[in-house]
Amino acid sequence: MNKVFPQGHNGNAAAGTKAVPGGAEGCSPLCCSRRRGTCLSASVLLLLATLAALIALVTILGLPPRMPGAQACVTLANRTGFLCHDRRSCIPASGVCDGIRTCAHGEDEEEGLCRDVPRSLPSFLVAHCGDPASWIYADQKCDGINSCGDCSDELSPVTVCPPCGPGWWHCPSTVFKYCDCIPRSLCRDRVQHCSDWSDEYSCPGP
């Protein structure tokens, strides 16, 4: 007599096994819960924990400073300057891209600012000479020194400068370094610095 086995019992136990909804199969490695809602809640909690950690880190270290674009300022010598990112330090225009990091964070020597001088410099830092191919820093204009080599940075029509300051004597200079003003310290030194000799006979001296 042959024994009759229940339908489906053919040696393959899996064939008669009924799947259990929410079982271990298909559960993510991060969450072994059988309930999808519990898994979702755990993911949200993990996200919130990560966000809280980032907020705590920012609170401790502080936000990185916002780096503004190049801004002009006026130095203590009343000359055109470059404002450092600390918004307190004002360095002379001629101190930008001179190979020396003067600002605390070195922004006066940044590659983007100095990669193609003078084209890469902000216009407020640059002054042009009578020769279009020549340029100087803005703080070198009207400083009494012949920086352009043809006095176009000190004399009209290229540049209009105020009269000689209190420490200067107005005269046509015979010295290449100066234009129409010489330092009063050169007066009365028995050396001609003015073509009319006024530095020796008219200038009252320092």
What pLDDT score was predicted for residue 51?
82
- When divided into structural domains, the chain yields a total of 1
- Quick check: 1 pLDDT over 80? no
Indicate the pLDDT class of residue 67, thresholds 50, 70 and 90: very low
Please state the φ and ψ torsions of residue 123, each to the nearest 5 degrees. Answer: -60, -30
pLDDT digits (tens, 9 = 90+) for 39-65: 667 777 888 888 888 787 767 765 444
User: Of all residues in the chain, what percent carry a pLDDT higher than 90?
Assistant: 61
Regarding predicted confidence, which is higher, 93 or 21?
A: 93
Q: What pLDDT shows up at residue 42?
A: 72
Segments of the chain assigned E as strands: 71-74, 80-83, 90-92, 126-128, 135-137, 168-170, 181-183
The answer to which of 23-27, 70-74, 189-193, 201-205 has the lowest mean pLDDT is 23-27
For residue 52, is it within any domain? no
Q: Specify if 203 maps to a domain.
A: no
Q: Nearest 5 degrees, angle CA 179-CA 184-CA 190?
A: 95
Q: Residue 64 belongs to what domain range?
A: 60-141
Specify if 119 maps to a domain: yes
- Start-to-end Cα distance in the chain: 138
Phi/psi at 111 (5° precision): -60, -40
How far is it, in rounded angstroms, from Cα 187 to Cα 192? 9
Residue 108, in any domain of the structure: yes
Residue 87 inside a domain? The answer is yes
Instruction: Evaluate the CA torsion angle 168, 173, 177, 180 in order and state its sign.
Output: positive
- The 10s digit of each residue's pLDDT in 72-91 is 999 999 999 999 999 999 99
Q: Is residue 5 part of a domain?
A: no
CB atoms under 10 Å from CB of 28, counted, come to 11
Instruction: Give the separation between CA 121 and CA 145, rounded to whole angstroms.
Output: 22
Q: 3-class DSSP state for residue 128?
A: strand
Confirm whether 25 is domain-assigned.
no
